[in-house]
Structure 1
Amino acid sequence: MTLTIINARMVGMSGLQAIGIDDRQVATAPIPMTMLEPRPDALIDVSGDWISPGGLDLQINGALGLAFPDVQVSDLHRLDDICRFLWDAGVDGFAPTIVTTSIENIHRSLAVFAAFQQRQAEASRDTPAAQIVGIHLEGPFLNSVKRGAHPEEFLLPLTLDQLDRVLGDHADLVKIVTLAPELDPTGETIVA
């Protein structure tokens, strides 16, 4: 069934717009209301309110009482809850952030998120939920002088060997790494 949202304001477009949605996907490009042909579809009149694409949260350390560096296999159902919570807040995709912690904690968290992403990919999309777009690793390759709240005992030198050691079997899952570029003066590790 196609749903048509009418009388919507959209960033970068002048005047009120209409947009068609089919099976939760944009089916028609926004068109000015003056060009809308009446159709028997379901209509939602947003009366001049703004509509926009869903948000993308690239640094979220946890939600609903769960800190992502502490995630366990037993928390998979809580990750489902977080994905629905974020969707309800207007977030389409997010990058769970694992802050500086022990390598063991990083490996465990990455393994849990890998299992969750696999489960998410295989699940039906009957219930809308935000999708994980990759993991954000914040540290442990930070400058000890500028580390903020990151525990100094878990900071590591920025080398290819250390990066491989931290990423372990889940390098493909990590899409963002926050690091101190001054720890890699030649750029060898950053470029890799």
Structure 2
Amino acid sequence: MILRGTVIGALGAGASSDPVISDGVVVTEGHRISWVGPAALFSGDTPLPAPTESILLPGLIDVHCHGGAGAGFPNADAVGAGRAAAHHRAHGTTGLLASLVSAGEQDLVRQARILAGLVESGTLLGIHLEGPFLSEARCGAQDPASIVPGDPDLFDRVCDAARGTVRSMTLAPETAHFGALLAAMRRWDVVPSFGHTDADARTTAARIADATGRPVTATHLFNAMPPFHHRAPGPVGAFLAAAGRGDVVLELIADGVHLAPETVSMVFDTVGPDNIILVSDAMAAAGMADGAYELGPLEVEVSGGVARLTTSDGSQGAIAGGTARLLEVVRSAVFDSGVALPDAVAAASRTPARVIGMHSERGTLAPEFRADIVITDQQLRPRCVLVGGAPVDTEGSAWKS
């Protein structure tokens, strides 16, 4: 297959020094990319297609996603979880970690076993545990009754049920038995992601130092943690400083709900796309109408596309995940926050691929890489998605403007 358009995120003939090829070509053979470069350098026997206004992106990788299409990974059976993954795939997320939330051991073990089968079949890239070793004071949309002190044995049991498919875990830096948990995460090759924390800057910085030498991320920076203050910088200050040194990669939910556009642009300008991962934090309502949903054991009401916990007195509950797909997050970062398109795309493809150890075949348009490619219009709306070189239905009618 020969694709032509503006190519973003490429490494190939004449492409190594320029993040954008204004009239580029991507050639696929089977499941892999065989050639990438400017149309002017193409010398294949097959005639080139005519120039197009399409934009060609690497397949996006979402490392923090709780579901979509009416199904949530913390609750769904294999059919529902597969439907959620397929929905995100059709909207450009060609690689996905399925995120769980804090829950009792029985629920975590059950869902880990279900999702492990989808990882083994290639539907998912892995599992992300968001909890249960979090700060109850910063639980956000997590069930406070399900949050427990750090328990390495419980972590081992969940990873065993997941058959080694857990790729990352969010934990609070101040949780109990942190050192033993970190050692267990190293044994299972699980990326530590610090978040849902009430820790101060000193504690956070010390935990980051404990984890150096391997990828470390910060779960949805700014959300579910104390705000930055000039005399009390808290975890935000520690995370930004560490990202500036290249010691931490920062998750951002740049969906226009979780963060102000100016906050998103500030972080990109401060630490750059190699130290940022754009995530959706999407829950079951992604791609669905407003209404009632679940996030683990908690009830959620979606109104105007914003998900919030349902409260007994009708007051405004905490934001409970997102309803955007990752390509929409990239779109918001570019058009609302003014982030350069190559930077936003890198933060949603190359950087997450590197953090989860899949950068040798995903996240970049380059020869020998998987032919996971997203073709969009000039407004970053999907026209076609290729997964391993095969097109999938983009469900264009479900796109949210």
TM-score (norm. length: structure 2): 0.40
* SS of match in other structure, 1:80: helix
**Aligned twin of 2:125:** 133
Matched, 1:39 2:41: no
Distance in structure 2 (CA, Å) of the matches to 1:32 and 1:172 = 41
Q: 2:33 aligns with which of 26, 30, 46?
A: 26
**Aligned twin of 1:5:** 3
**Aligned twin of 1:107:** 109
Q: Does structure 1 retain, via aligned residues, the 8 Å contact 2:152–2:177?
A: no
* SS of match in other structure, 1:70: coil
Distance in structure 2 (CA, Å) of the matches to 1:108 and 1:44 = 49
Q: Does structure 1 retain, via aligned residues, the 8 Å contact 2:133–2:172?
A: yes
> Is the alpha carbon distance of 1:154 and 1:48 closer, same or farther for their aligned partners in structure 2, counting shifts above 3 Å?
same
Between 4-13 and 98-107, the greater mean CA deviation after superposition? 4-13
The letter for the 2-side match of 1:9 is V
**Aligned twin of 1:57:** 62
Deviations 1:11-30 (A, max 9, x none): 413442112111242111x2
> Is the alpha carbon distance of 1:117 and 1:165 closer, same or farther for their aligned partners in structure 2, counting shifts above 3 Å?
closer
Distance in structure 1 (CA, Å) of the matches to 2:92 and 2:51 = 16
TM-score (norm. length: structure 1): 0.79
Which one has the bigger strand percentage?
A: 1
* SS of match in other structure, 1:142: coil
The letter for the 1-side match of 2:34 is A
Deviations 1:131-187 (A, max 9, x none): 311100101000111111211211111132232244443261211100101114763
Between 55-64 and 162-171, the greater mean CA deviation after superposition? 162-171
Deviations 1:80-133 (A, max 9, x none): 333332222111110111111111111111111123333x25xxxxxxxxx311
Q: Aligned residues: percent identity?
A: 22
What's the CA shift for 1:45? 4.3
Distance in structure 1 (CA, Å) of the matches to 2:181 and 2:93 = 32
Which one has the bigger helix percentage?
A: 1
**Aligned twin of 1:126:** none
Higher Cα Rg, which structure: 1
Distance in structure 2 (CA, Å) of the matches to 1:40 and 1:166 = 51
Distance in structure 1 (CA, Å) of the matches to 2:95 and 2:129 = 16
Name the count of aligned residue pairs: 175
The list of structure 1 runs, each at least 4 consecutive aligned residues, that deviate by more than 4 angstroms after superposition, is 43-46
Distance in structure 1 (CA, Å) of the matches to 2:166 and 2:38 = 41
Q: Cα RMSD between the aligned structures?
A: 2.3
Distance in structure 1 (CA, Å) of the matches to 2:72 and 2:4 = 40
Q: Does structure 1 retain, via aligned residues, the 8 Å contact 2:5–2:23?
A: yes
